[in-house]
Amino acid sequence: MKNRRIVLAARPTGAAGTEHFRLETVETPPLAEGQVLVRHHWLSLDPYMRMRMNEGKSYAQPQKLGEAMIGGTAGVVLESRHASYAPGDTVVGSGGWQEASVVDAGASGVLRKVDVSRVPLAAYLGAVGMPGVTAWVGLVKLIEPKAGETVLVDAASGAVGGTVGQLAKARGCRAVGIAGGPDKCAYVVNELGFDACIDHRAHRDFASLAAALDAAAPAGIDGLFENVGGLILDVALSRMNAFGRIALCGMIAGYDGGPMPISEPRLLLTQRLRLQGFIVSDHLKEWPAALAELGAGVADGRLKYRETVAEGLENAPAAFIGLLAGRNFGKQLVKLV
């Protein structure tokens, strides 16, 4: 079948833009034994993709030029030459920025059938997918929150951050978010149930952000789930309690290559902090427990999330650039069908 896809056309030297992508049309190859053809209904856009666009040392191979951008997808099986899959099955995988993909369905981690009777298909790309498990692993396994502690998370209205705060609340913690703009902050507190949320756009220097954090987290911070880096991380570090834990999940503030030092690393020593950089794919053994809690939470309505949906593959690049600038609100998806 005809398959439209978006490939990486050039690597950004500074900020990423739509000019770094190119739309192409190709034919899907015929199925070999063991393969499945999936029509993608939803494409997930996530901040980690920005880091893959760069060359150099990272936790993964750089995205190759001229190939379809990597990315999580949710869709429906159209044709199958694998015994475990039949046309009509709803599946999630890593099909990339394209309308369809042909995959070796038996390979580990490539494709997973999902039950859409109580959880919407798109949620398997968000709260019940990679972002949700990222939140769960970082909070539950790395921060190890105890009831009564304060957990701070930035990008708090996003797919990861919003889940972090709700899981922290469920564990008896004070959940404090940082997000961009009054609408996102209101959502984080009123809809997601965080105890407080700081609008970083209203606090653009250290002293102002620190004062806001002191008001929102008067007992200091015990657990920090870090998605952003830069000034926010510097301020958060200065408010960490002794023996605090930091799950370092992302540093979106620095993905364009600007310097983003930690200004006062001695705080890591004096407060005896533990910091763990992580990527969720290193923690495969945690996925079943995480997905069980996340799936149950979405199914019964306790675990809330919000989506921003772009329509059509051709709009994926602009939606992705918007995500990097914080113009999305909640999980950024592209609806393909």
d(CA 116, CA 195): 32
Q: How far is the CB of 287 from a copy of itself (least distance, A)?
A: 17
- For a copy of itself (CB under 8 A), the number of binding residues is 35
By CB under 8 A, which span of 64-72, 174-182, 258-266, 306-314 interacts with a copy of itself? 258-266
Near a copy of itself by CB under 8 A, which window of 51-59, 70-78, 146-154, 308-316?
Answer: 51-59
* Window 72-131: residues binding a copy of itself (CB under 8 A): none
Please identify, using beta-carbon distances, which residue of 49 and 74 lies nearer to a copy of itself. 49
- Give least dist CB 309 to a copy of itself, A: 29
The residue whose two tokens read 């209904």 is: 41
Pick one of 13, 25, 190, 270: the residue that binds a copy of itself (CB under 8 A). Answer: 270
Q: Whose Cβ is closer to a copy of itself: residue 105's or residue 267's?
A: 267
Q: How far from 200 is each of 15, 136, 181, 185, CA to CA, in Å?
A: 21, 24, 7, 10
278 binds a copy of itself (CB under 8 A): yes
Answer yes or no whether residue 223 interacts with a copy of itself by CB under 8 A. no
The answer to whether residue 251 forms part of the interface with a copy of itself (CB under 8 A) is yes
Tokens 């023996």 sit at which residue?
A: 243
Q: How far apart are CA 27 and CA 4, in angstroms?
A: 8
Report the residue number, 13 or 276, with the smaller CB distance to a copy of itself: 276
Assess 206 for contact with a copy of itself (CB under 8 A).
no
Phi/psi for 334 (5° steps) reads -120, 125
Secondary structure (3-state) at 19: helix
Q: Does 248 bind a copy of itself (CB under 8 A)?
A: yes
Return the exposure string of 208-244: e unless at least 16 CB atoms fall within 10 Å of the residue's CB, then b: ebbebbeebbeebbbbbbbbbbbbbbbbbbbbbbeeb
| Amino acid identity, position 329 | F
- Interface with a copy of itself (CB under 8 A), residue from 2, 57, 204, 285: 57
Distance of alpha carbon 145 from alpha carbon 151, whole angstroms: 8
| Candidates 106-114, 189-197, 262-270, 304-312; binding stretch for a copy of itself (CB under 8 A) | 262-270
- The 174-203 contact track toward a copy of itself, x by CB under 8 A, reads ------------------------------
**Closer Cβ to a copy of itself, 188 or 267, answer by number:** 267
Closest alpha carbon to 200 in 247, 252, 244: 252
Look up tokens 């950004």; give the residue.
Answer: 12
* 156-183 burial code (b ≥16 CB/10 A, e <16): bbbbbbbbbbbbbbbbebbbbbbbbbee
Question: Which residue in 26, 29, 59, 312 binds a copy of itself (CB under 8 A)?
Answer: 59
Residues that bind a copy of itself (CB under 8 A): 51, 57-59, 229, 233, 242-243, 248-251, 254, 259-279, 282
